[in-house]
Amino acid sequence: MEWTIGELAERASAALSPTAQLNGRVRDVPNERLIRWYATIGLLDPPTSRRGRVALYGRRHLLQLVAVKRRQAEGLTIAEIQAELAGASDQALETIADLPSPPPAPPAAKSESTRPRFWAKPPRTTHPTQVNGVRLAPGVTLMLDGGRPLSPAALADIGTAAEALLAVLREHDLVPDPEGNQS
């Protein structure tokens, strides 16, 4: 039997959940990131196979993962666990991991048929909003939500305030220079 990394994490969590009492320095259940790290430092064997880009893990990986967490629960450091479990036989891992027989199944996931489909939801009703645009320069328009018309005084104040922004945009060649100067 082979599992994806997510399924391996779920099975390890199910095996550890009834007895997991760690010392607060380590996570009580492994996640995918932790599993990858354990494989990188040699606590877990490389995946047994791949299905496309998906790595697959077997029972030995589950034994290794649960054995590491059990030893951490006993207060051993990663270095001590590496020294003990390096090259350990399946029988030794079985003893340390102390898995129920058969291995625990992961918690029941939602079936595909019970998961809501985003495309099946009725469309959300939206109310159109009027947007005002103020042309600051060719290629630069300030968009303002709301339907209130702008007064000539407001337009003049926006134009004055926009000069600093337009200078920065010209400096970075994001809008053309109105006088045609090249930087």
* pLDDT (tens digit per residue) in 72-123: 988 999 999 999 998 899 999 999 998 876 655 655 555 445 555 555 555 5
The pLDDT value recorded for residue 38 is: 92
8 Å CB contact between 133 and 142: yes
Model confidence at 172, pLDDT cuts 50, 70, 90, reads: confident
The pLDDT value recorded for residue 60 is: 94
Alpha-carbon distance 146 to 67, whole Å?
62
What is each CA distance from 14 to 58, 96, 100, 103, in whole angstroms? 16, 16, 10, 9
The pLDDT value recorded for residue 143 is: 80
Segment among 99-103, 138-142, 149-153 with least mean pLDDT: 99-103
User: How many other C-beta atoms are found inside a 10 Å radius of the C-beta of residue 99?
Assistant: 20
Whether pLDDT at 165 is above 80:
yes
Whether pLDDT at 40 is above 80:
yes
> What pTM value is reported for the model?
0.54
Beta bridge partners of 133: 143
Kindly give the pairing relationship between strand 54-56 and strand 140-145: unpaired
Per residue in 7-38, pLDDT tens? 999 999 888 876 555 445 556 678 999 999 99
Per residue in 51-68, pLDDT tens? 999 999 999 999 999 999
Whether pLDDT at 177 is above 60:
yes
